[in-house]
Each structure stands twice: as C-alpha cells, then as structure tokens.
Homo-oligomer: A and B are copies of this chain.
Amino acid sequence: MRPNQIQTRLRAGQPILNGWLSIASSYSAEAMGHAGFHAVTVDMQHGMIGFNDALHMLQAISATPATPLMRVSKLDGPEIMRALDAGSYGIICPMISTAEETAALVSACRYPPKGSRSFGPSRGLLYGGADYVEHANDTIMAIPMIETVEGVENIDAILAVDGVDMIYIGPNDTALAFDGQVVGARTRAEAAIAHVLARARVAGVATGIFCADGADARRRLDQGFDLVTPGNDMGLLKTAAAQAIAQISGDTLVQPLGAAGSGY
C-alpha cells in the first residue's frame, strides 16, 4: 500500500505542511498538491464542495506528491467511510468532545475486528494499491478536532482512546467557545490550546492546527505542533488578489473588498 507521508514524516520527526481546500476545483487542488505541501485536506465541513467535486479533487491530489486527507462535515460513520472509499488517507473530524465520540471516529476508520468500517474499498484500491485492505487499518489516520470546551476538558480521555493518530485544533471555534469571539483577545482559547498541546505531547499523540497564514503556521510549529495548515486556498487567493491590487493602485486607486478574513 502506498505509504502515508504524514506518518513517514512524523516518525522522522519532520514537520508537516498541510494545504486546505475549500474551492471545488480539481485544478486548484492539483496545484496545491504540487505547491510543496506534504498533505492536502479537502474540507467538506466549511468548504464549498460536494461529494462529486471531492472525488475529482482527491484524484487530482493523487497525481501530486501530497497525501490526501478529508475533513468530514460531522461524526457520521457512513460519511467517513465514503471519504475513505474515495481515497482519503485520513479523516479530520470536527467538534469531537468526548472519548466516546473519539472511539466512534476511530471505529469508522478501521475494518473489523478493529472497527466497524464497511467493506467496499472502491477508489482506495486504485490509490492505495492492491494490498489496500490488508494495510488500511494501519495507514488511515483518525484525527479528531478539539475545539469545544468539553473537548478540552476531556482531552486526556480523548488522547487515551486507542487508535487516535493525531489531534487537530480548530482555533476559531475554540475562540468562540472559550472567549465568545473570533475577533479580539483569545486569552482563554490560547490557554486551552496550550493545555491540549501539552497533554498530547505527554500522551505521545501527534498534533495539528489550523492557522491564519504562513507566519501563524511558523509560530505554531515553534510552539510544538507537528502539522500546520497556513489558511485555506480561498484565503490564499483573496490575499494574493488584494496584494496585486494594492501593488497596482498604491493604496489609493481601489479598496479591495473583504480580502482579509476568509480564514477559519
């Protein structure tokens, strides 16, 4: 089975740069896969993407060096299994708050007897190879998102669930949950994030986080995270368009509308 580059780099102690896709285009997905990211995530929660789009995007990523992940819209076994059958090598699942939910996520990602994944590997066989079924349980990563108060409170129990391959932090939902806002001070949220990171390191579980941009991602790597996502494709595009327009107009000709603020 084709190896999971995230696992390879984690074992080597190397950081992982993760691209994030919200634009339903296989062409931009392929470009992101060639941009230098080690992993690229198709976002089915906040991305503007249907299943058919996601399939094309996973195929496009498969033509690049990047390992494909998917963020599903919710903790739902059949949706997770479809994401895996389509060739995702890992599932980032939003809003995980308890050990029980975590175990359900892991179970959906594993064939029996380790879990409850239904058999029908479909495109997984094409991407992973003929021995997909034999190795899938060891190669597919189950990645709960920690972004609720309850999730932070239960972090030790979550980390103790057998089969958790990484936790991934959603800082904006964490800010809403802890500080009641995404704009302005995030004191409590940052403390929660630091706590979760510390507990994960103690537990020996890898950590990832969504970041506002490249500079923020650099900071998060320095803070100790293993995988960082420097914003999403839409944020990158908006920022680049605003920069180009500013270069042309010298700040005075036009005022870019809503160029900032797309990230989450």
Interface residues of A (CB under 8 A from B): 15, 17, 19, 22-28, 30-32, 34-38, 45-53, 55-56, 59-60, 62-65, 73-74, 76-79, 81-82, 85-86, 94-95, 111-113, 118-123, 125-127, 129-130, 133, 147, 170, 172-173, 175-177, 180, 182-183, 213-215, 217-218, 221, 228, 230-231, 233-234, 236-250, 253-259, 261-262, 264
Contacts and interface: CB of A to CB of B under 8 A. Distances in A.
Given A112-B176, A257-B36, A24 B22 contact: no
B264 A119 contact: yes
Given A46-B85, A74-B77, A259-B36, A127 B245 contact: no
B258 A230 contact: no
A240 B242 contact: no
A51 B43 CA distance: 14
A257 B35 contact: yes
B244 A122 contact: no
Chain copies in the assembly? 6
The 6 A-B residue pairs with the shortest CB-CB distance in the complex, in nearest-first order: A46-B120, A214-B247, A214-B244, A50-B52, A62-B63, A236-B240
Contacts of A53: 50, 52
Given A34-B126, A78-B45, A17 B258 contact: no
A246 B17 CA distance: 11
B248 A217 contact: yes
Given A17-B249, A240-B239, A254-B36, A119 B176 contact: yes
A38 B248 CA distance: 13
A245 B230 contact: yes
A13 to B, nearest CB: 13
Contact of A245 (B36, B122, B242): B36
Contacts of A213: 244, 247
Contacts of A60: 56, 59, 62-63
A161 B120 CA distance: 28
A262 to B, nearest CB: 6
A22 B120 CA distance: 10
A214 to B, nearest CB: 3
Contact of A31 (B126, B243, B253): B126
B125 A15 contact: no
B73 A78 contact: yes
A113 to B, nearest CB: 5
